């Protein structure tokens, strides 16, 4: 039940909810917007009808427009957002102090708003908030990699992990970088856009986290370790077999501060004239 309702005292019959519905399943029936009979099952629950109504007349899925967050005047300043995008850094030095669960949970609540293909919203956020759990994962992952190197079981193309093992023995944690937390975003492989859905969520997480002073690191070394070298870790941390892992990220309070943005040039644009 999508529970689409229109408050007739508020509705100004502007037709915005009708126009904006991506599935065109809303029409004017008896003067007011309504779901076209028989088409409710096509709703992708994107809430565009709810968001686009200037009067707060539309409700769907039992949502209350009066308790929804207003947008006007609340988007970030574009200059500051640009500085965030340019000033975000791959953080490879972390303090041991954990980030509290409320903060992590709030971050996840926000990135649950990231778009997914056909509003599929099947991303699974596998997060490690307890640094003791993170330490166990770190130790077991490294033990698994060490064993795979000893047994000559490292998959082709990942032979360089033997160098990471040498670094580990020398006291350098090149894979986890000493971070107290990790996040893996996965989604069913058979979804409409698993790769994009997971990477958009992680990109959103990274930007919001860094705006709050939390360091993040996209972590291919960890992803390959738990998918190709020590897959039992993937199972142990609860990522379902039928899921595509978009990527893994480690995060925590940074033990490093950056004072300026990098100076990267836009050097590859294919400006089409047709």
Q: List residues binding ligand FMN (CB under 6 A).
A: 89-90, 92, 217-221, 262
For the bound state, the minimum distance from the C-beta of residue 40 to ligand FMN, rounded and expressed in Å, comes to: 40
For the bound state, the minimum distance from the C-beta of residue 81 to ligand FMN, rounded and expressed in Å, comes to 16
Q: Which of 38, 17, 14, 40 has the alpha carbon at shortest distance from 27?
A: 17
CB of 250 to ligand FMN, least distance (A): 9
Identity of the residue, 4 or 176, whose beta carbon is nearer to ligand FMN in the bound complex: 176
Q: Which is nearer to ligand FMN, 116 or 203 (CB)?
A: 203
Nearer to ligand FMN, 125 or 218 (CB): 218
3-class SS of residue 254:
strand
Query: DSSP E strands: which ranges in the chain?
Result: 5-6, 26-29, 32-35, 58-59, 124-128, 181-188, 215-218, 243-252
Q: What tokens does 165 get?
A: 């093992």
Residue number with CB closer to ligand FMN (89 or 236): 89
**What is d(CA 71, CA 160) in angstroms, rounded to the nearest whole number?**
48
Say if residues 254 and 129 touch (Cβ distance below 8 Å).
no
Judged by CB, which is closer to ligand FMN: 13, or 86?
A: 86
Q: In the structure encoding, which two tokens stand for residue 141, read together?
A: 């992952």
Nearest approach in angstroms of CB 215 to ligand FMN is 10
CA distance linking residue 45 with residue 115, whole number of Å: 12
Q: Tell me whether residue 7 or residue 173 sits nearer to ligand FMN (CB atom).
A: 173
The two three-digit tokens of residue 137, written as one number: 């994962």
- CA distances from residue 212 to 58, 100, 138, 216 in whole angstroms, order as listed: 34, 13, 25, 11
Please state, as a whole number, how many other Cβ atoms lie within 10 Å of the Cβ of residue 40: 13
The distance of closest approach from Cβ of residue 89 to ligand FMN in the complex, given in angstroms and rounded to an integer, is 4
- Kindly tell me the number of DSSP H helices and DSSP E strands found in the chain: 9, 8
Q: How far is the CB of 121 from ligand FMN (least distance, A)?
A: 23
In the complex with ligand FMN, which residue's Cβ is closer, 51 or 158? Answer: 158
Report the alpha-carbon distance of residue 129 to residue 192 in Å, rounded.
Answer: 30
CB of 201: closest distance to ligand FMN in angstroms?
14
Classify residue 168 as left (phi > 0), alpha (psi -120 to 50) or beta. alpha
């Amino acid at each position: 039940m999508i529970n689409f309702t229109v408050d007739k005292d508020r509705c100004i019959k502007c037709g915005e909810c009708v126009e904006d519905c991506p599935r065109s399943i809303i029409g004017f029936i008896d003067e007011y917007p309504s779901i076209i009979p028989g088409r409710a099952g096509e709703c992708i629950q994107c809430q565009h009808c709810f968001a686009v109504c200037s009067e707060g007349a539309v409700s769907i899925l039992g949502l209350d427009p009066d308790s929804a967050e207003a947008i006007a005047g609340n988007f970030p300043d574009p200059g500051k957002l640009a500085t965030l995008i340019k000033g975000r850094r791959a953080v490879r030095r972390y303090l041991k102090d954990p980030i509290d669960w409320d903060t992590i949970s709030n971050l996840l609540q926000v990135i649950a708003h990231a778009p997914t293909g056909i509003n599929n919203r099947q991303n699974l956020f596998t997060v490690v908030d307890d640094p003791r759990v993170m330490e166990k994962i770190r130790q077991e992952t490294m033990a698994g990699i060490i064993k795979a190197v000893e047994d000559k079981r490292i998959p082709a193309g990942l032979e360089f992990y033997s160098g990471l093992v040498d670094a580990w023995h020398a006291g350098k944690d090149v894979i986890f970088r000493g971070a107290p937390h990790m996040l893996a975003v996965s989604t069913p492989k058979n979804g409409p856009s698993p790769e994009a859905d997971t990477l958009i969520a992680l990109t959103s997480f990274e930007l919001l986290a860094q705006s709050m002073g939390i360091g993040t690191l996209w972590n291919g070394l960890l992803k390959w370790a738990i998918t190709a070298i020590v897959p039992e870790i993937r199972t142990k941390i609860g990522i379902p077999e039928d899921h595509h892992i978009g990527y893994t990220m480690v995060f925590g309070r940074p033990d490093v501060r950056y004072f300026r943005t990098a100076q990267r040039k836009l050097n590859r644009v294919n400006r089409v004239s047709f």
